Structure 1
Amino acid sequence: MLKVASYNMRKAIGTDRRRSPERVLQVLREIDADVVALQEADRRFGQRAAVLTPHLLEEHSDWQSVGLGMRAGSMGWHGNAILVRKSARVLDCEQLHLPALEPRGAVMADVAVGDVAVRVVGMHLDLSGLWRRRQAATILSHVAASARPLPTVMMGDLNEWTRAAGCLRDFGAAFHFADTGPSFHARRPIARLDRIMVSRELRVAACGVHQSPAARVASDHLPIWATLTGQ
């Protein structure tokens, strides 16, 4: 059993307009996932510094950040980051450059949690449907071209409002979607912008949207989660 989660943490700015990294960590502790894909994990301007600082993670969490930062002080790549248990082993990681009008990227890590090795892809796709499809094609091509295939989990904020068109149809040709439910807006979730997708080697045993009182305030997105097993 492997528990994964995806969370657009909105740079830790809550629906009350307060920035509180500690509140984000509280939500992550409530979910207690083995692997977490984060979006908007770094500040937008200046040094693009990580919102969840190394000190906060070390002293107040059970996770380590995969070393994806391209800037000193950043956690991720274009705001995308991956957290894994401190007991997990990071076998490999890389950044994926995505076609876009504004800077966009995805991140990928091969992670061993206990005896289970999985490939994790985190992403935050464009607001434009045309660019989302181009970005999906880039991600799918990169994963398919890997010389070392692994069971794969892809997670993130896809920014796709339609049910079965656009990039969802593209991803759905090779991946199964966890039926997590609406995660946006946190105060009144009506849209399934956040998604978890798994390759054919994996089965979704359980999944959902985390709707605790803290989660409803910590970001404008609710986190989603899924428990995975082998087929």
Structure 2
Amino acid sequence: MPRLLTYNVHRCVGVDRKLDVARIVGVIAEHEPDIVCLQELDVGRARTGYVDQARSIADGLAMTFHFHAAMRVEAEQYGDAILTLRPERLVKSGPLPSIRGVPGLEPRGALWSVIDFDGVELNVFNTHLGLVPREQRLQAAALVGPDWLGHSDCVGPTLLTGDFNATSLTRPYQTLARRLADCQRSLGLKPSVKTFPSSFPAIRIDHCFTSPELMVTGVRAPFSPLARMASDHLPLIIDFEFRTP
């Protein structure tokens, strides 16, 4: 059964303020996912020892990967990645809309990969939305628009995941949930799997949305001592199947 893990890794700095890429690899490897979507990765940044965190995690998991730098400062990069054990191809990576003139807002982006499951192609989108509601609304609208989910090449099984910095009560979430099904709601249960903060998860801002061609069979957030320590978010794990045509 296919498994996806989405994880805001907080640049591999844990709640104990220690930088440790190996801990992140350990958290992920324990659950043997087919696809990994990561947010808040540092690549070549002084603050995290100039390590290419996307490559280091992918190498530790023996996966291929694609990284998108939402932010670049000279040679330093910060962004998101899609990793997988399966045959894959990157369709697109790029920026999402931002609000000009507001200090302190980080650039945001998304990636779109197609991953092959024994001849069935799965569209996987990974993103990390901003912190300001107005900005989030623009970014959610862009994701459902013609450049991403509404693109003519986005057909068949589709999955959108990431850190949306938005609960289910917000307009950005609702924009996305009108297009794809929240995987927790599609199980027919009241959504209860929360991932932030990792030490005492009380907020549901990491989401996964799926198209009708997918059947979600399980959703969980590991709460092991390692997972609680390695990042300020817990990973979110989604098990799913492809519906028979």
After TM superposition, the score normalised by the length of structure 2 is 0.83
Counting only pairs closer than 5 Å after superposition, residues 25-36 of structure 1 correspond to structure 2 as 25-36=25-36
1:134 to 2:135 alignment: no
Counting only pairs closer than 5 Å after superposition, residues 47-58 of structure 1 correspond to structure 2 as 50-54=52-56, 57-58=58-59
Q: Deviations over 1:180-210 (max 9, x none)?
A: 6110000000000111111121111111112
Instruction: List alignment gaps of at least 5 residues for structure 2.
Output: 100-105, 185-191
Over 3 Å counting, the alpha-carbon distance change for 1:170 and 1:44 in structure 2 is farther
Provide the residue aligned with 2:179 in structure 1.
174
**Aligned 8 A contact 1:91 1:109 in 2:** yes
Residue 33 of structure 2 aligns to a residue whose secondary structure is coil
Provide the residue aligned with 2:151 in structure 1.
145
**Aligned 8 A contact 1:66 1:90 in 2:** no
Provide the residue aligned with 1:93 in structure 2.
91
What is the identity, as a one-letter code, of the residue corresponding to 1:218?
Answer: A
Provide the residue aligned with 2:213 in structure 1.
201
Q: CA deviation at 1:171?
A: 0.7
Over 3 Å counting, the alpha-carbon distance change for 1:68 and 1:129 in structure 2 is closer
Residue 138 of structure 2 aligns to a residue whose secondary structure is helix
Q: CA deviation at 1:125?
A: 0.3
**Aligned 8 A contact 1:68 1:94 in 2:** no
Q: Deviations over 1:55-104 (max 9, x none)?
A: x633x323221265697988xx851101101xx11133311321113311
**Aligned 8 A contact 1:21 1:52 in 2:** no
What is the identity, as a one-letter code, of the residue corresponding to 2:214?
Answer: L
Q: CA deviation at 1:150?
A: 2.9
Q: CA deviation at 1:116?
A: 3.1
Provide the residue aligned with 2:114 in structure 1.
110
**Aligned 8 A contact 1:96 1:108 in 2:** no
Distance 2:3 2:40 in 1: 21
**Aligned 8 A contact 1:174 1:200 in 2:** no
Q: CA deviation at 1:45?
A: 4.5
Provide the residue aligned with 1:61 in structure 2.
61
1:124 to 2:128 alignment: yes
Provide the residue aligned with 1:3 in structure 2.
3
Over 3 Å counting, the alpha-carbon distance change for 1:139 and 1:230 in structure 2 is same
Instruction: List alignment gaps of at least 5 residues for structure 1.
Output: none
Over 3 Å counting, the alpha-carbon distance change for 1:123 and 1:112 in structure 2 is same
Counting only pairs closer than 5 Å after superposition, residues 155-166 of structure 1 correspond to structure 2 as 155-161=161-167, 163-166=168-171
What is the identity, as a one-letter code, of the residue corresponding to 1:177?
Answer: D
Over 3 Å counting, the alpha-carbon distance change for 1:44 and 1:139 in structure 2 is farther
- Name segments (4+ residues, structure 1) moved above 2 Å: 43-50, 66-74, 113-116
Q: Deviations over 1:130-173 (max 9, x none)?
A: 11111011111122123351311111000013x33311110111
Output the aligned Cα RMSD.
Answer: 2.4
Provide the residue aligned with 2:239 in structure 1.
227
Provide the residue aligned with 1:81 in structure 2.
81
Distance 2:153 2:55 in 1: 34
